[in-house]
């Protein structure tokens, strides 16, 4: 492979940052720019020695790279993008460059779905790693088992590459979903809900993109699909030319994968046949289903379910998925990437079940510890207010809910009104921190949910809790 210089616009996003890491590992020179930088991606890029430029000034044309790689956050009117278009220099979208220079010739295992992509991708990569397959991967987060979000792995022809397959559009000049570029031989379809309403008018439009993905797959491929999801069944009814492995099936359904037991300790069944057992620290039924999907996909590349299930016992999760950031005065602060109402509810429910289980194990007569949810409506879908009516449902299992009000044209306080006095809204992060600190008490679990940096609120909460007087 000839070496080239890539300059990546939007390099600090999880996908583009992972692409940068892969290009660097492959021996290319990588530079990049973005308007904001926050962990964990900023830490990873710095560790790789990648030169970062703040902002998108047209002066970066002087870097004269072989190709400008354009992230999907870049819009018309961006000074650097306008200069690229005006001069006609070579450019490519991130998915296009990845498909041509990394994925070509590999056995691609793509993980798609509204929820659970990152965790399932990390699980699948870990299963293949434990089996000695040395997979390449690109994950929209940092799996703790690996410590990086992306790597090339063994790059021989046909070797596995596991990729988180996003349905969001590719670039300003390519409005197809990213995942149609990946040409997977194995695809997981975890679930499908309305999301990304800034680019998709309705659920049917997203189903069409998922069917485009199915149409790229060979007859010898495998589609691993959630049997409980009606939208995914509609996708397959449009036509499927590959073998299908369903999971989350009823146990009497022959050939389907199901789980028997609690999410933290369960048997994996195909019909009534036990294939293996998973015992791990991951929370919630959603992770149980993610595990079934990963096991089915791994089997397609030759990993026996019994060995795959055993390896999940050593899976340690993904950063920003119920990640404990610190504890002060008996108050624990967690970070989670949840930003869609369903993901928020699922995260809170998983934490609730864990706390109730701990309470039962301790034979405690006291009430379960409180969950204090802190939420930032940051995604484009949330800013549009499309899902504001679902916020009370998403947060109702928390004991207290705190949210940030931004300049997005709808009232978070009005949306949370059904929660009554258990919900509070602030217009700045410092005010939000003050409100949470005033309400928090020893034993509380403060769960911060955002798909961005949230202005470093985790450390601000811990600092403020540390400065709080004992009497408070």
Q: Note the pLDDT of residue 250.
A: 78
Would you place residue 249 in the very low, low, confident or very high pLDDT band (cuts 50, 70, 90)? Answer: confident
Rounded to two decimals, the pTM is 0.80
CA dist., res. 82 & res. 88, Å (int): 10
* pLDDT score of 262 more than 80: yes
Q: Note the pLDDT of residue 1.
A: 56
Paired tokens of 444: 């509380």
In tens, the pLDDT along 109-132 reads 999 998 889 999 999 999 999 999
Is 40 in contact with 18 (CB distance < 8 Å)?
Answer: no
User: Which domains, from first to last, does the chain contain?
Assistant: 5-93 (3.40.50.720), 105-312 (3.40.1190.10), 323-467 (3.90.190.20)
Give the number of residues written for the chain. 472
* pLDDT score of 471 more than 50: no
In tens, the pLDDT along 347-372 reads 888 888 778 777 665 655 556 789 99
Is 230 in contact with 207 (CB distance < 8 Å)?
Answer: no
Q: Note the pLDDT of residue 469.
A: 53
Least confident of 122-126, 305-309, 329-333: 329-333
CA distances from 123 to 110, 118, 126, 157, 351 (A): 12, 9, 5, 23, 20
Would you place residue 303 in the very low, low, confident or very high pLDDT band (cuts 50, 70, 90)? Answer: very high
| Residue, of 158 and 469, whose pLDDT is higher | 158
* pLDDT score of 134 more than 90: yes
HSE toward the beta carbon, residue 3, CA cutoff 13 A:
7
**Which whole number is the average pLDDT over 211-219?**
97
| Residue, of 43 and 407, whose pLDDT is higher | 407
Least confident of 178-187, 319-328, 363-372, 386-395: 363-372
* pLDDT score of 470 more than 60: no
Give the contacts of 107 (CB within 8 A, at least 6 positions apart).
Answer: 158, 159, 160, 161, 185, 186, 301
Q: Note the pLDDT of residue 194.
A: 73
Is 319 in contact with 142 (CB distance < 8 Å)?
Answer: yes
CA dist., res. 22 & res. 8, Å (int): 12
Give whichever of 76-90, 141-155, 167-181, 341-355 has the largest mean pLDDT.
76-90
**Which whole number is the average pLDDT over 324-344?**
86
**Which whole number is the average pLDDT over 68-91?**
97
Would you place residue 324 in the very low, low, confident or very high pLDDT band (cuts 50, 70, 90)? Answer: confident
Give the DSSP per-residue string, 169-202.
Answer: EEETTEEEEGGGGS--SEEEE-------TTT-SS
* pLDDT score of 138 more than 50: yes
pLDDT averaged over every residue in the chain: 90
Would you place residue 181 in the very low, low, confident or very high pLDDT band (cuts 50, 70, 90)? Answer: very high
Q: Note the pLDDT of residue 39.
A: 63
CA dist., res. 339 & res. 242, Å (int): 33
């Amino acid at each position: 492979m000839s070496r080239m210089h890539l300059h990546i616009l939007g390099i600090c996003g999880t996908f583009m940052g992972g692409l940068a890491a892969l290009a660097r590992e492959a021996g290319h020179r990588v530079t990049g720019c973005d308007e904001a930088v926050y962990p964990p991606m900023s830490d990873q890029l710095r560790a790789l020695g990648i030169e970062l430029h703040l902002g998108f000034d047209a002066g970066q044309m002087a870097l004269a790279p072989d190709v400008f790689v354009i992230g999907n956050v870049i819009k018309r009117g961006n000074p650097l993008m306008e200069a690229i278009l005006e001069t006609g220099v070579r450019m490519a979208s991130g998915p296009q460059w990845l498909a041509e220079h990394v994925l070509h010739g590999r056995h691609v295992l793509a993980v798609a779905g509204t929820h659970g992509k990152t965790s399932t991708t990390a699980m699948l990569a870990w299963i293949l790693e434990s089996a000695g397959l040395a997979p390449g991967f690109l994950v929209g987060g940092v799996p703790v088992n690996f410590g990086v979000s992306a790597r090339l792995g063994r790059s021989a022809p046909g070797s596995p590459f596991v990729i988180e397959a996003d349905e969001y559009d590719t670039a300003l000049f390519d409005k197809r979903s990213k995942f149609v570029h990946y040409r997977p031989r194995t695809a997981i379809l975890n679930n499908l809900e309305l999301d990304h309403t800034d680019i998709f008018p309705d659920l049917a439009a997203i189903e069409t993109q998922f069917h485009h993905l199915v149409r790229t797959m060979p007859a010898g491929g495998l589609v691993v699909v959630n049997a409980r999801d009606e939208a995914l069944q509609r996708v397959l009814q449009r036509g499927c030319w590959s073998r299908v492995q369903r999971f989350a099936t009823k146990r009497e359904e022959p050939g389907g994968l199901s789980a028997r037991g609690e999410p933290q300790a369960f048997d994996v069944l195909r019909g009534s046949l036990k294939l293996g057992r998973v015992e791990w620290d991951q929370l919630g039924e959603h992770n149980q289903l993610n595990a079934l999907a990963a096991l089915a996909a791994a089997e397609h590349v030759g990993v026996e379910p019994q060995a795959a299930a055993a390896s999940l016992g050593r899976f340690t999760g993904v950063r920003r998925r119920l990640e404990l950031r610190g504890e002060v005065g008996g108050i624990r602060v967690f970070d989670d990437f949840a930003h869609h109402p369903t993901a928020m509810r699922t995260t809170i429910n998983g934490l609730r079940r864990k706390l109730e289980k701990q309470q039962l194990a301790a034979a405690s007569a006291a009430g379960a510890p409180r969950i204090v949810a802190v939420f930032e409506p940051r995604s484009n879908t949330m800013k549009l207010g499309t899902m504001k009516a679902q916020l009370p449902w998403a947060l109702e299992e928390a004991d207290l809910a705190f949210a940030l009000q931004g300049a997005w044209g709808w009232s978070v306080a009005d949306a949370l009104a059904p929660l009554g006095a258990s919900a509070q809204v602030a217009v700045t992060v410092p005010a939000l921190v003050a409100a949470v600190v005033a309400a928090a008490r020893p034993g509380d679990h403060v769960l911060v949910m955002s798909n961005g940096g949230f202005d470093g609120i985790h450390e601000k909460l811990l600092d403020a809790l540390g400065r709080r007087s004992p009497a408070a």
